[in-house]
């Protein structure tokens, strides 16, 4: 599968577009725990910066969520266009069962809260397991 160059990749206009991009960029899990942050401008173009964050704790911690909110607020503000505001796509990567578990749901809720606090529209939270990518929260 070809990984798109964000500058020339198709726009992310639908949930299906976003899921396909996460499948291309993150794919099946290869590490124990990692969080991926992708930013999208107001026109639906993926920003060239993709942030993989290693060593994500098993359970969301207030300090981590606060730091994520601060990063998302700044980036999304910079990505606003005449069409709309910047937005964020999040993917939690973990080795293990190919199912959305309670801990994954806790992380999804914490990430949604971070986006809300940051004023960063959320395009979706996805789970990458050994079996592939699955939506936890679609918007």
- The answer for residues whose C-beta is within 8 angstroms of residue 59's C-beta and 6 or more apart is 103, 106, 107
The reply to whether the predicted model has a pTM over 0.75 is: yes
Residue 3, domain member (yes or no):
no
> How do residues 13-42 score in pLDDT, each as one tens digit?
999 999 999 999 999 999 999 999 999 999
Domain that holds residue 35: 15-138
> How do residues 73-92 score in pLDDT, each as one tens digit?
888 778 888 898 899 999 99
- The answer for residues whose C-beta is within 8 angstroms of residue 116's C-beta and 6 or more apart is none
Residue 105, domain member (yes or no):
yes
> How many domains are contained in the chain?
1
Average pLDDT of the chain is: 90
């Amino acid at each position: 599968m070809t990984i798109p160059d964000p500058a020339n990749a198709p726009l992310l206009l639908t949930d299906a577009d976003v899921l396909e991009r996460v499948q291309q960029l993150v794919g099946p899990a290869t590490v124990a725990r990692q969080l991926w942050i992708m930013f999208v401008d107001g026109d639906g173009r993926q920003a060239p910066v993709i942030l993989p964050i290693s060593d994500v704790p098993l359970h969301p911690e207030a300090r981590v969520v606060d730091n994520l909110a601060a990063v998302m607020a700044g980036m999304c503000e910079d990505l606003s266009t005449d069409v709309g505001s910047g937005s964020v796509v999040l993917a939690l990567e973990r080795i293990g069962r190919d199912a959305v578990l309670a801990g994954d749901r806790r992380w999804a809720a914490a990430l949604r809260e971070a986006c809300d606090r940051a004023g960063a529209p959320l395009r979706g939270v996805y789970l990458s397991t050994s079996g592939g990518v699955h939506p936890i929260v679609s918007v």
